[in-house]
Amino acid sequence: MSGPGDILLSIRGLQKAFGGLVAVRDLSFDIPQGKILGLIGPNGSGKTTVLNLVTAEFAPDRGTILFKDRDIVGAKSFEVCRMRIARTFQLVRVLPHMTTRENVMLGRMFGSAPTVPAHAAKEADALLDRVGLKPRAGMFASQLTYIDQKRLELARALAAHPELLLLDEWLAGLNPTELKIGIDLVRQIGREGITIVMIEHVMEAIRALCHRVVVMNAGERIAEGTPDSVLSDPQVIQAYLGGSDAAA
């Protein structure tokens, strides 16, 4: 069992190419237990590919992915889930013809600690309440707005009882009020001891939430450090942020 401050996830020499395009090149970084790490960079820099490699959607060409000191390269996606790694997706993935409650129940019933439907339903309702969706528990997922589908996807990921939660632009598209609620929710999840990796373009959220930030460009890590140090790095500003964003 990992304790606070222990390295939960360690990525070493990770590489993935698609044909002639190298999406991730010799990438290494560590994520301590209980911390929130931001993974930022311009579109196409390889960020989502990293999450896909961790969750075994893709197999790396080389490198290691150590989760609690175990190399999980070669594991299948369902095995990674049962290790207590869960995620949301940049393009929302819900089961449209199932209810909101049933979507979350599946995360509980087939996640890291499978259980019976009655127990899963009770936990699903608690999680839906937590993300502000309890009044919509009986609606089909296809009837939800885009923002509510993102909330549903987060509840389903939490239903798997993750130790490591991967958020792929979960805060994107929120209005200012929703963004504040979303930041508070992610902060509370982190306070409960869940380690989080968040891909995000909303710098307000990166500054508010992240203990450390890794910046990628063209598949490579170009900077790593605290949010303030990284977001003031001239190389990062040139590659991604632009002067006005950096000063915001």
What are the tokens at 75?
């594991």
Distance of CA 159 to the CA centre of its chain: 14
How far is residue 32's CA from residue 35's CA, in Å, rounded to a whole number?
6
Angstrom CA distances, 9 to 5, 70, 91, 180, stand at 11, 9, 24, 28
**pLDDT score, position 243:** 47
**pLDDT score, position 247:** 37
How far is residue 187's CA from residue 138's CA, in Å, rounded to a whole number?
28
pTM for this prediction: 0.91
Looking at 30-39, 103-112, 190-199, 221-230, which range is the least confident one?
103-112
Neighbours of 77 (CB within 10 A): 12
Q: Provide the angle, in degrees to the nearest 10, between the axes of the packed helices 117-130 and 146-159.
A: 130
CB 49 within 8 A of CB 23: yes
**What does pLDDT average to over the chain?**
91
Q: pLDDT of 145-168, one tens digit each?
A: 988 999 999 999 999 999 999 999
66-80 mean pLDDT: 95
Which domains can be identified in the chain, with CATH numbers?
Answer: 34-59+74-247 (3.40.50.300)
User: pLDDT band at 119, cuts 50/70/90?
Assistant: confident
**pLDDT score, position 109:** 86
User: pLDDT band at 110, cuts 50/70/90?
Assistant: confident
**Given the DSSP bridges, would you call strands 21-32 and 7-18 parallel, antiparallel or unpaired?**
antiparallel
How far is residue 79's CA from residue 111's CA, in Å, rounded to a whole number?
9
Looking at 16-20, 36-40, 45-49, 240-244, which range is the least confident one?
240-244
